[in-house]
Amino acid sequence: MFLRTLLVIAVCVNVGGRSLKNKGAPQRLLFDEKNKDHWNIQAQWVLRSKVAAPLNKKVAKNVILFLGDGMSITTLAATRVYLGQQHGHNGEELKLSFETFPYTGLAKTYCVDHNVADSACSGTAYLTGIKANSGTVGLSAAVKRGDCEGQRNGAHSVTGLMDWAQRAGKSTGVVTTTRVTHATPAASYAHSADRRWEADTDLPKKGLHCDDIALQLVRGRVGSKIDVVLGGGRKNFFPKSQRDVEGHNGYRSDGADLVREWLVKKTSMGALPKYVYTRQQLLELDVEENNSVLGLFAPDHMPYSLEAEDDDPSLSEMTQKAIEILSANKNGFFLFVEGGRIDTAHHETKARKALDETAEMAKAVEAALRMVDIEETLIVVTSDHSHTMTYSGYSKRGTDILGFSNKMNASDNLPYTTLSYANGPGYKPHEQFRRHNLMLDDINHLNYTYPSLVPIVRETHGGEDVAVFAKGPWSHLFTGNYEQNYLPHAMAFAACIGPGLTTCK
């Protein structure tokens, strides 16, 4: 079932199991990589599908932006193999759900002040259309990180897709597996000179006072109008003196109960709001009785999929419920969905978790495709930045992607893994001038930290371009190579929202 829905074989051959019939020659299945006809038919099928595909120039009633945080091209390639091998395939020949989209491009991810992006400046770029400084959210590059005065000066604030969609009368939503106040989702609604200012407790003790990100989600002009917010980060909405439903203390110092405030504000705006904190509550939510929902399912980030319990909703389940709620608006909707824990796993050099979270992202895209009319819904899938994981070694097909290269040992006669990192916590010091013997490690452990060249507490991002996949109205606008801040301009064009050029004007 998963193989059918999550992975698409890139060959579309076998043609009902038919074999190649030549007189006097042994019969061979077309789905056979040693058969030259396999490759000819595969390439011809792709060519014909591209030639026959008409350009969709309709107005995009709905827009869904999927963001795999840290989902590098290397991560995509490794995840294909990871997911394929779980279903008895080699894996390289398969595609993730969104890799079948007809149009792809490459986005350049650097910040204005750094050559390698963080999630704050990149989020500002692909959500507002403005490139920013590292560590800043929803502000132009006129504001440096930590500049509270610059944040308070509204002249430097920038808004984008979320604001434009709301002004056009569309419903809006944010779904993430991280804290809903984390840098990536925050860029859709907040203005912060420091991505770390998620709650008031994080703000500097001296100097000017700036609104924290959680506060802006509840009281901000854009944040308060978001109809669906699903993810983690519950602690940033409750005071330290209060415990949440799981017994965890809140983190706020100002005594504000922002969940209660959110419910009151939404009701005053004429909405029918609901606060949920378990998977069951989310799945049982009646969209006819509640047209706005705040779901905070963990005090911090949501758990990794491989460690999730029965009451933790998956990214797919949150995405489906969001679409179900937002689809009630006859004017359409804009939904931002982040698979955020790909990034945190890479920072820990836990490749197994990173690949699994990418697979979860592919499932969420597949779930969305089943629910929307792709003729009137533009779906864009991309990443904010890459990571330093590499995929190497000349291994034979079928070799465990999370295991050792089986071609040969290194020149020191010690084995090495197919996946490794340029830097990070997986560094192991040499022993008697020899590289650490990885055969002594339990590389099958869920939390195994993969080898790193340079010792660093947290692995860093990478600076190369990231892939962009698009399907639906005006998806052909997303081909080629472009700056990351181009993305929201193209999405706004297709949906007839925002102040710039659109297909309607």
The CATH number that applies at residue 260 is 3.40.720.10
- 154's CB contacts (< 8 A; 6+ apart) are none
- pLDDT recorded at residue 406: 86
- Phi and psi torsions of 270, nearest 5°: 90, 5
- pLDDT recorded at residue 2: 43
* Of 12-21, 175-184, 214-223, 337-346, the least confident: 12-21
DSSP state of 448: P
Catalytic residues, by residue number, are: 119
Measured distance CA(295)–CA(227) in Å, rounded: 11
If asked whether residues 136 and 34 sit together in one domain, one would say no
Q: Stretch 112-122: mean pLDDT, rounded?
A: 98
If asked whether residues 384 and 272 sit together in one domain, one would say yes
Q: Stretch 200-205: mean pLDDT, rounded?
A: 96
Residue 336 falls inside a structural domain: yes
More confident residue, 29 or 148: 148
| 343 carries a ligand binding annotation | yes
With H, G, I as helix, E, B as strand and everything else as coil, classify residue 10: coil
Measured distance CA(431)–CA(380) in Å, rounded: 48
Cα 292 vs. chain centroid, distance in angstroms?
Answer: 23
- pLDDT recorded at residue 5: 39
Residue 47 falls inside a structural domain: no
Q: How many structural domains does the chain have? A: 2
If asked whether residues 136 and 6 sit together in one domain, one would say no
Residue 166 falls inside a structural domain: yes
If asked whether residues 153 and 238 sit together in one domain, one would say yes
- Phi and psi torsions of 476, nearest 5°: -70, -10
| 461 carries a ligand binding annotation | yes
Helix (H) or strand (E) holding 293: strand 292-296
| 69 carries a ligand binding annotation | yes
Residue 431 falls inside a structural domain: no
What is the pTM for the complete model shown? 0.94
- At residue 30 the predicted structure's pLDDT band, cuts being 50, 70 and 90, is low
- At residue 29 the predicted structure's pLDDT band, cuts being 50, 70 and 90, is low
What share of the chain has pLDDT > 70, as a percent?
94
Cα 171 vs. chain centroid, distance in angstroms?
Answer: 21
Whether the CB-CB separation of 96 and 369 falls below 8 Å is answered with no
With H, G, I as helix, E, B as strand and everything else as coil, classify residue 453: strand
> If we measure between CA atoms, which residue out of 196, 209, 214, 102 comes closest to residue 151?
209
If asked whether residues 198 and 329 sit together in one domain, one would say yes
If asked whether residues 23 and 71 sit together in one domain, one would say no
If asked whether residues 152 and 114 sit together in one domain, one would say yes
If asked whether residues 169 and 282 sit together in one domain, one would say yes
In order, the DSSP letters of 319-365 are: HHHHHHHHTT-TT-EEEEEEETHHHHHHHTT-HHHHHHHHHHHHHHH
AA letter at 361: M
Residue 325 falls inside a structural domain: yes
More confident residue, 419 or 15: 419
If asked whether residues 275 and 383 sit together in one domain, one would say yes
Per residue in 109-144, is it b (16+ CB within 10 Å) or e — as a string?
A: bbbbeeebbbbbbbbbbbbbbbbbbbbbbbbbbebe
If asked whether residues 32 and 75 sit together in one domain, one would say no
| 412 carries a ligand binding annotation | no
| 147 carries a ligand binding annotation | no
Measured distance CA(464)–CA(120) in Å, rounded: 17
- pLDDT recorded at residue 445: 97
Measured distance CA(76)–CA(434) in Å, rounded: 33
Expressed as residue numbers, the domain containing 90 is 62-388+464-495
Residue 315 falls inside a structural domain: yes
Rounded to a whole number of angstroms, the CA Rg of the chain reads 24
Q: Stretch 196-218: mean pLDDT, rounded?
A: 96
| 182 carries a ligand binding annotation | yes
If asked whether residues 16 and 103 sit together in one domain, one would say no
Residue 448 falls inside a structural domain: no
If asked whether residues 184 and 329 sit together in one domain, one would say yes
Average pLDDT, the chain: 93
| 384 carries a ligand binding annotation | yes
Is pLDDT of 437 > 60?
yes
Q: Stretch 126-144: mean pLDDT, rounded?
A: 98
CA distances from 193 to 126, 181, 183, 207, 381 (A): 18, 14, 11, 14, 27
Residue 501 falls inside a structural domain: no
User: How close are the terminal C-alpha atoms of the chain, in Å?
Assistant: 44
